[in-house]
Amino acid sequence: MIRFENVTKKYDNDSVAVDHLNLNIEDGEFFVFIGPSGCGKTTTLKMINRLIPLTTGTIYINEKRISDYDIHELRYDIGYVLQQIALFPHMTIAENIAIVPELKKWDKQKIYERTTELLEMVGLDPALYRDRKPKELSGGEQQRVGVVRALAADPSIILMDEPFSALDPISRQKLQQDISELQKKIKKNHCFCYS
Ligand code: ADP
Ligand code: MG
């Protein structure tokens, strides 16, 4: 489903961040990049959704080059969880989760039902949490929202860049278990990339 063909990324300062990377990630596969800081994990993830342009080589999604996709079509079908908790502070929890569904112009009722379902999925009572602002949540709770926000519009691909690194060990372990269960529950052809 995702294929890297001789992908190289050189930044302006000429440092080679990714060097002739070849790999296949199958539908439904849970793929994890492991390596020391600075080895190119974030760069690799961000090239998939075109946040970072490749220097040479090709990335295919479903055998179509990513450069041939309309950028919105590509991004709307890829959920992305950032390393740092990155909720919009002025928006409520429900509004944060609904960003992509809103962009896709889902109707209000469908958005309401989806945000309810997602909050329940990660153990946050919608009645209590939907209208809160991010600062009224703990770090672990915010990162849970970051994860379900990436799932909101049911993308085919989910990229997670060290989604647990900002968490304390207990929240981290709990969220790791939850995501592993989520992946089993979501039986569509999701492809999870972790770094
Ligand atoms: P990781 O996520 O594995 O820690 P990164 O992909 O962030 O690694 O970085 C890989 C290499 O590319 C590092 O040497 C880093 O310094 C360099 N790098 C990352 N982003 C930039 C940038 N915007 N400009 C120049 N060099 C960068
Ligand atoms: Mg990184």
Given a cut of 80, whether residue 163 has pLDDT beyond it is yes
189 with 156: CB under 8 angstroms? yes
Residue to substitute in 41, 43, 52, 195 for testing ligand 1 pocket (most ligand atoms within 8 angstroms of CB): 43
Greater pLDDT, 185 or 118: 118
The domain of 43 spans: 2-194
Most distant CA pair in the chain: distance in Å?
Answer: 51
Name the pLDDT band for 187 (thresholds 50, 70, 90): low
Question: Residue 134 belongs to a domain with what CATH number?
Answer: 3.40.50.300
For residue 178 the two structure tokens come to 């939850």
103-128, pLDDT tens digit by residue?
999 999 999 999 999 999 888 999 99
Residue to substitute in 12, 13, 14, 15 for testing ligand 1 pocket (most ligand atoms within 8 angstroms of CB): 15
CA distance 36 to 20: 18
> 133 alpha carbon to ligand 1 midpoint, in Å?
32
44-70, pLDDT tens digit by residue?
999 999 999 999 999 999 999 999 999
> 52 alpha carbon to ligand 2 midpoint, in Å?
13
190 with 183: CB under 8 angstroms? yes
pLDDT of residue 122: 84
Query: For the chain, how many structural domains are there in total?
Result: 1
Classify strands 78-81 and 64-65 as parallel, antiparallel or unpaired.
unpaired
Mean pLDDT of 133-151: 91
Residues with CB under 6 A from ligand 1: 11, 13, 15, 17, 35, 37-43
